[in-house]
Amino acid sequence: MPRKIHLALHPYGVGGPGQHGLWKDTRIAKNASIDINYYIAQAQAAEHALFDALFIVDSQFINATYPAHYLNRLEPLTLLSAVATHTRHIGLVGTASSTYNSPFNLARRFASLDHISGGRAGWNVVTSFDTGTAKNYGLDEHLDYATRYGRALEFVHVARGLWDSYEDDAFPADVERNVFLDPAKLHALNHVGEHFNVAGPLNISRSPQGQPVIFQAGVSDEGRDLAAQVAEGIYAPGGPLQQAQDYYADIKKRTASYGRDPEHIKIFIHGGPIVARTDEDARRREREIFEEDNDFDRNLALLGRSFGAYDFSRHDLDAPFPDVAHLAENGGRTGAAKLIERARAENLTLRQVARSISEFRRSPFVGAPRTVADSIEQWFNAGTFDGINLAFRTDDDLNLFVDGVVPILQKRGLFRTEYEADTLRGNLGLPIPDNRNTREPHLVNG
C-alpha cells in the first residue's frame, strides 16, 4: 500500500503560545476555550474532512502572563468524552502528565474514553514542562529530568499492563450457566517498580482497538528515547526541511534500535497552513497575522516559561542576557539551552533574545491551494513526516484548507477518500497490541 498523509487538528481556542492577538479577532468567541460546542464543531468539521484525530494539549500551571487559551480551558479527557458522543470516526487524543497523575486512575480514564468513543482514544504522554506545577501537587520541587523520564517510561508500561487486565473473552455472560465473568481470564498486574507499586486489575475491559494509542513529543535525547520505546505517534518540532528530515530519520532509527517496526510510529509535524486565492494574498495574510500577534511584553513572559515562569521584566532589557541556566535545568531544558547558547555566542541582550523567539519566519505551507498542496507533497516525499498536526486560527481558515487543499491531495492519492476503519489504530495503520495474557496474536485492526 502506498503511504498516505495523516492529518490531525489542533484547536487554538482563544490563542496559545505565540497567538497573543487571536482572542481579539471578531470571529473568535471569547469563551471558545471553555465552550464544548466549539470543540464539537471543530471535531465534526475535521471528521467531515476525514482527518485522523483531534488533538488537545494541556498544562497544569499558569500565571497571569500565560497565553489566553491557557488561562481558561477545559480538562482534556472531560472535553474529549463529550466530543466522542458527537463523532464516529475521528481519533481523540488528550494530553496528560505522567509526572502528576497516578497510573491506575489515568489508565482507567483513558480506557473509559476508549470505550465511550468505540476505540478512538489516544494519550499524549508528557512529563510536564512547567516547573511551577509541583506546588499545585504539594511538592516543593519539580522532579529532575532523569526522574521524570524514568517515571514516564514505567508509567506507560504500568498503564499498558492494566489495560490488559481482562482477556477479550473474559465475559461470557452466560445466564444458563450463571457465569458473567470467567475468573481465569482476569489478571492482576502486581507491578513493583522504581516509581510505582500497582496491584490491579483494572475494572474495565479492552476496547475495540485493544489499547489507547500512545503519543509523545520528544525533543531532548531523553524524550526521543522515550518516544522510540513506547510511542505510536509523535509530535515533532518541525522547523526547516533539513531539520525535520534529520529528526524523522533519528526517531525511526531509534525505534528500530529498540526492536520495533519504524512504521509503527507515526511522526506528525506542526503545521499552520494559510490558504488564500493567490500566493500573494496568502503571504500578505501571513505577515498580517505576525503583526497581530507580535506583543513584546507577552513574548518576554513566554520566554520566562522555559525558565520556570521566571519574570525577566525585572532585568534591564538592553543588558546582556542574564545567567539563568539553572532555572531551566528541570523545566524546558532543551529549548532554554539553545537560547542561552545563542545569546552567549552572539552577545545578545535580553531584548534581542526576547525578540528572537518571535522573529517572522515564513511557513512552507502558505499560498494558493495548489501551492500549499505542492509543498505538503514535497515535504512528505522528502521524509519529514507521516502526518501534520494542523492549527487554524478561524473556522474560515480551516474551511479554506479543507475545501481547497484536501481535494488536491486526494486526487494525487496522498490522502484518503474514506475512513479505513472505525478506530484510531485502524486509520493510522497501527496493529492492535497483543494482550500480554493471551498467547494468540491479534490482527491489524481494519
Whether residue 55 is found in the same domain as residue 150:
yes
Whether residue 323 is found in the same domain as residue 406:
no
* Residue 287 located in a structural domain: no
Range 238-254 average pLDDT: 95
* Residue 286 located in a structural domain: no
Most trustworthy range by pLDDT among 110-124, 216-230, 351-365: 110-124
Q: Please say if the pLDDT value at position 443 is more than 50.
A: no
Whether residue 234 is found in the same domain as residue 154:
yes
Residue 274: which region, alpha, beta or left (left: phi > 0; alpha: psi -120 to 50)?
Answer: beta
Whether residue 200 is found in the same domain as residue 314:
no
Read off the pLDDT of residues 156-214 as tens digits, 9 standing for 90 and up.
Answer: 999 999 999 999 999 999 999 999 999 999 999 999 999 999 999 999 999 999 999 99
Cα distance between residue 294 and residue 15, in whole Å: 13
Whether residue 102 is found in the same domain as residue 213:
yes
Read off the pLDDT of residues 47-86 as tens digits, 9 standing for 90 and up.
Answer: 999 999 999 999 999 999 999 999 999 999 999 999 999 9
pLDDT of residue 300: 92
Q: Please say if the pLDDT value at position 1 is more than 90.
A: no
User: Beta-carbon neighbour count of residue 179 at 10 Å?
Assistant: 12
* Residue 433 located in a structural domain: no
Range 2-31 average pLDDT: 95
∠25-28-30 over CA atoms, to 5°? Answer: 105
Nearest Cα neighbor of 189 from 174, 178, 202, 179 is: 202
Whether residue 235 is found in the same domain as residue 379:
yes
pLDDT of residue 330: 67
Whether residue 171 is found in the same domain as residue 231:
yes
Beta-bridge partner residues of 92: 54, 121
Confidence of residue 445 (pLDDT cuts 50, 70, 90): very low
Residue at a domain's end among 311, 326, 356:
356
Range 241-246 average pLDDT: 96
Read off the pLDDT of residues 364-382 as tens digits, 9 standing for 90 and up.
Answer: 999 999 999 999 999 999 9
pLDDT of residue 21: 94
> Residue 423 sits in a domain of what CATH number?
3.20.20.30
Range 240-265 average pLDDT: 96
List Cβ neighbours of 175 (8 Å cut-off, separation of 6 or more): none
* Residue 443 located in a structural domain: no
Q: DSSP state, 186?
A: B
Q: Please say if the pLDDT value at position 219 is more than 90.
A: no
* Domains contained in the chain, number: 2
Residue at a domain's end among 337, 356, 375:
356
Residue at a domain's end among 356, 391, 408:
356
Range 402-420 average pLDDT: 98
Q: Please say if the pLDDT value at position 442 is more than 50.
A: no
Q: Please say if the pLDDT value at position 441 is more than 70.
A: no
User: Which residue range(s) make up the domain with 346?
Assistant: 295-356
Read off the pLDDT of residues 91-135 as tens digits, 9 standing for 90 and up.
Answer: 999 999 999 999 999 999 999 999 999 999 999 999 997 888 999
Whether residue 324 is found in the same domain as residue 377:
no
Axis crossing angle, helix 241-257 with helix 221-230, rounded to the nearest 10:
50
pTM: 0.94
Query: What are the phi and psi torsion angles at 132 (to 5°)?
Result: -65, -15
Whether residue 382 is found in the same domain as residue 248:
yes
* Residue 285 located in a structural domain: no
Whether residue 130 is found in the same domain as residue 212:
yes
Helix (H, G, I), strand (E, B) or coil at 331: coil
Please identify which residue in the block is written with the cell numbers 481558515.
397
Read off the pLDDT of residues 138-162 as tens digits, 9 standing for 90 and up.
Answer: 998 989 888 999 999 999 999 999 9
Taking a C-beta distance cutoff of 8 angstroms, is the pair 307, 331 a contact? yes
Read off the pLDDT of residues 417-440 as tens digits, 9 standing for 90 and up.
Answer: 999 999 999 999 999 999 999 855
pLDDT of residue 439: 55
* Residue 284 located in a structural domain: no
Whether residue 350 is found in the same domain as residue 366:
no
* Residue 309 located in a structural domain: yes
Whether residue 214 is found in the same domain as residue 111:
yes
* Residue 288 located in a structural domain: no
Beta-bridge partner residues of 233: 215, 266
The C-alpha cell at 61 is: 500551571
Confidence of residue 331 (pLDDT cuts 50, 70, 90): low
Give the mean pLDDT of the chain: 94
Cβ-based burial of 108 (10 A; exposed 0-12, middle 13-18, buried ≥19) = middle
